[in-house]
Amino acid sequence: MSNEEEISKRRTFAIISHPDAGKTTLTEKFLLFAGAIQSAGAVKSNKIKKSTMSDFMEIERQRGISVASAVMSFEYHDLKINLLDTPGHKDFSEDTYRTLTAVDSVILIVDSVKGVEEQTENLMKVCRMRKTPVIIFVNKLDREGQSPFDLLDEIESKISIKVCPLSWPISRGATFKGVYSLHEKNLRLFTANQAVTANVVDISDLQSVALDEHVGNLLAAQLREDAALLSGVYGGFEKVQYLSGEVAPVFFGSALNNFGVKELMDTFVEIAPPPKPMAADARTIAPEEPGFSGFVFKIHANLDLRHRDRIAFFRVCSGKFERNTFYHHVRLDTNLRFSNPASFLGQKKDVIDEAFPGDVIGLYDRGNFKIGDTLTAGENFHFQGVPSFSPEIFKELINTSMKGKQLEKGIQQLTDEGVAQLFILDDGRRKVVGTVGLLQFEVIQYRLEHEYGAECRFQPLNFYKACWITSNNPTQFADFFRSKANSIGLDKDERPVFFVESEWMLHHYVKQYADIDFRLTSEIHTDPLAKMAGI
């Protein structure tokens, strides 16, 4: 098969949701329908229900042994689908943000009872920034949820995307009857825990009495009324608007009951995009280019203490990856080759000889990789769009043992993995660790002690956010540096970062220092949407 044909067969995506909306359930149903697993219960939930460090370490240890759940590849309708897993715990949402940089589209699950929750809003900001095509699955229709009109309104207002329902629910909860496919003009009748396909009845004309026979007069009348309203409010589905990330098609169903899942999958394979061009600092890299390239978006520590190796998850962006071939590590300006690159088929991990754009491969690493690193066939460029987002919680790292060197090495390596962000203040005398959640501090402390033999404690700091600062006005910049010397540090790539104590102060400085650009991500986006999204 030619490279072009291989590329056209790939669909690389992630399922995102707030914890408990049904991601594990839907993922499992996808794998079951595709024949990649044989029975329910095979996909392990990566939720950390009790939010304790020991639960987290246990899950990490299991995942370290079987990293297969990080990427699930399977065939469906003659396509090669790569489904990238995202962590279920909100403290690890930065890991999810980065995974979103390696996909070409997403399926967003919204719980019909709870509506759009906070974590979903943040994840969708990243999708909007990258114009990632989104399909929405409203789940748990078998429960007494909100009205579908209210849900769609909430989705549009909270995640700033236009929606276009392709199916419409007939009642919900105990009286849930099924959905009417506005797209295919048929009725899909719901039965709890049904087999793969629903009972489908063609009803091209909603005035037909067949509708009343199947769902009863009252619900038939309600559907007719809803449908009349819908066409006026949402209009027809245009694939180009979906592909540009402007409009999200919406499906309703119940993952637990297999209802609506097959339709979702079939629409996904019909409309989801193949690997897209990726922005690099020098130029945009098209997947069809002959030269190989790609980037690391996630690093997973192998928590086996006997060997401190790690797996770097690498998205192929162009050309063809081949085993045992030297590639250029742009940041280190060195050439590396990989003798055991892994791909992930279903739950099995295999050594592969080649990989194509859209594929995600696991590269065994002994400390050469940082998140965001680019490999190429020789050219010098870096992929963009693997930004760091401002942490929410900041603490100073205090060495409490004599093992300063181990502590230094440990904190450098853990932050290369993306467990947390490290900032240096006072010419290297102070180290500040920033995270999204409190759990990471416990994880870092535990891993520093057990993997590096170094002890530390954390001193809380009262910062609100870290702002990456740039300016075209050297005088104003120097003035700001002088007056804020104690609150300015460097990130790991030596970019200046200002630690601001409150949102109010941030607004104040933005006004006072008009020529300084304060950003809550490490990358400069020319896209105005990124500004709008507030990240």
Question: In the beta sheet, which residues pair with residue 422?
Answer: 433
| Residues 143-182, mask of contacts with ligand G4P (x by CB under 6 A) | x---------------------------------------
CB of 60 or CB of 449, closer to ligand G4P: 60
Closest distance of CB 46 from ligand G4P, Å: 8
The first and second tokens of residue 148, run together, are 């579908």
Closest distance of CB 281 from ligand G4P, Å: 36
The stretch near ligand G4P (CB under 6 A) out of 70-78, 254-262, 291-299, 426-434 is 254-262
Out of 44, 47, 492, 495, name the contact with ligand G4P by CB under 6 A. 47
Out of 3, 8, 9, 20, name the contact with ligand G4P by CB under 6 A. 20
Q: Does 117 bind ligand G4P (CB under 6 A)?
A: no
- Of the candidates 161, 149, 153, 150, the one whose C-alpha atom is nearest the C-alpha of residue 123 is 161
State the DSSP string of 75-138: EETTEEEEEEP--SSGGGHHHHHHHHTT-SEEEEEEETTTBS-HHHHHHHHHHHHHT--EEEEE
Which backbone phi and psi does 65 adopt, to 5 degrees? -75, -45
Q: Does 119 bind ligand G4P (CB under 6 A)?
A: no
CB of 97 or CB of 338, closer to ligand G4P: 97
Closest distance of CB 179 from ligand G4P, Å: 13
CB of 18 or CB of 465, closer to ligand G4P: 18
Report the alpha-carbon distance of residue 89 to residue 42 in Å, rounded.
20
Q: Does 114 bind ligand G4P (CB under 6 A)?
A: no
The stretch near ligand G4P (CB under 6 A) out of 252-260, 312-320, 333-341, 444-452 is 252-260
Q: Which of residues 60-99 bind ligand G4P (CB under 6 A)?
A: 88
Out of 6, 142, 373, 416, name the contact with ligand G4P by CB under 6 A. 142
Measured from the Cβ of residue 359, the count of other Cβ atoms closer than 10 Å reads: 26
State the DSSP string of 140-195: -TTS----HHHHHHHHHHHH--EEEESEEEES-GGG--EEEETTTTEEEE--TT--
Q: Does 255 bind ligand G4P (CB under 6 A)?
A: yes
Q: What is the CA radius of gyration of the chain?
A: 24
Given the DSSP bridges, would you call strands 71-76 and 488-490 parallel, antiparallel or unpaired? unpaired
CA torsion sign for 426, 430, 431, 437 is negative
Number of residues that bind ligand G4P (CB under 6 A): 19
Give the three-class secondary structure for 263. Answer: helix
Report the alpha-carbon distance of residue 23 to residue 46 in Å, rounded.
10
CB of 25 or CB of 93, closer to ligand G4P: 25
Half-sphere exposure of 325 (CA within 13 A, CB side): 16
Q: Does 25 bind ligand G4P (CB under 6 A)?
A: yes
Q: Does 278 bind ligand G4P (CB under 6 A)?
A: no
CB of 66 or CB of 470, closer to ligand G4P: 66
CB of 261 or CB of 432, closer to ligand G4P: 261
CB of 100 or CB of 342, closer to ligand G4P: 100
Place of tokens 């590849």: 73
Q: Does 388 bind ligand G4P (CB under 6 A)?
A: no
How far out from the chain centre does Cα 172 lie?
Answer: 30
Q: Does 128 bind ligand G4P (CB under 6 A)?
A: no
Closest distance of CB 180 from ligand G4P, Å: 18
Residues that bind ligand G4P (CB under 6 A): 17, 19-25, 45, 47, 88, 139-140, 142-143, 254-257
